[in-house]
Amino acid sequence: MKRQRCLAVASAALLAHAACASTSYTPRGDGRIVTVMEDGAMVLMKDGQRYPNGADGLKNAVAGNPVAEDHARAYATGTHFALAENLVGLGALIAGAIVATPRQDMAGNDLPVSRDRQVAGSVLLVGAVAALILSGFHMGSAQAQYMDAINVYNDGVPPRLPAPPGWRPTSPVPLPPPPGAQPAPQPIPAPAPPVPPQAYPPPPLPPVAPSPN
């Protein structure tokens, strides 16, 4: 009993850890749609924006491309048909099993199943299998439409020129250097040109004495 309890706790912890798994790499924003994992679920990402992995998320992600939007609508329609057929198949399977199961009397003895119940149970079981097979077909077709929508949209995204090597976006506000970064060497100023000596005016001449006549 203790071993089974420990196994159940370990299984629950493993499932909780798997549900919290997320991808650590963020794709570059080039206008294309990519799939990432967040908390154990697949989501769509385009230019840093996330969309839920479903019909509505796909429709919003491929908006603007008419062909991709058609594939997205086909995916939503196929998914709805597959879900409805799956529910009908499961209901018919349960009903057929109940109808075809022999009943018991008060003493616990099995009563023979009437021919009508056998036919009804067989029809329900065959219909259930057919509905489940058709549900799987529609779900597989919907998944193909899902991938077509993403691929068609990505092919329609115009290419973006890559940034030149060594280019970094500049900020209008000076940013402090990252921790541990070495300060950039400051350029040595050029020596100032020599200042020529200042020229002073010559001293005045002494007065000349008048000559006697």
Distance, in Å, from the CA atom of 29 to the CA atom of 148, rounded to the nearest integer, reads 21
- Residues near 121 by beta carbon (within 8 Å), at least 6 away in sequence: 96, 97, 99, 100, 113
pTM of the prediction? 0.61
Token match 């250097």: residue? 177
The answer to whether 152 and 65 are in contact (CB under 8 A) is yes
pLDDT tens string, the chain, 213 residues long: the values are 445 554 444 454 444 444 456 666 666 777 888 888 887 778 888 888 888 888 899 999 999 899 999 999 999 999 999 999 999 999 999 988 888 877 776 766 777 777 888 888 888 899 999 999 999 999 999 999 999 999 999 998 887 666 666 666 565 556 666 666 666 677 787 777 777 776 667 777 777 767 665
Burial of 131 (0-12, 13-18, 19+ CB in 10 A): buried
Q: How far is CA 210 from CA 96, 203, 204, 205, 213, in A?
A: 153, 21, 18, 15, 9
Instruction: Give me the DSSP letters along 141-159.
Output: HHHHHHHHHHHHHHHTSPP
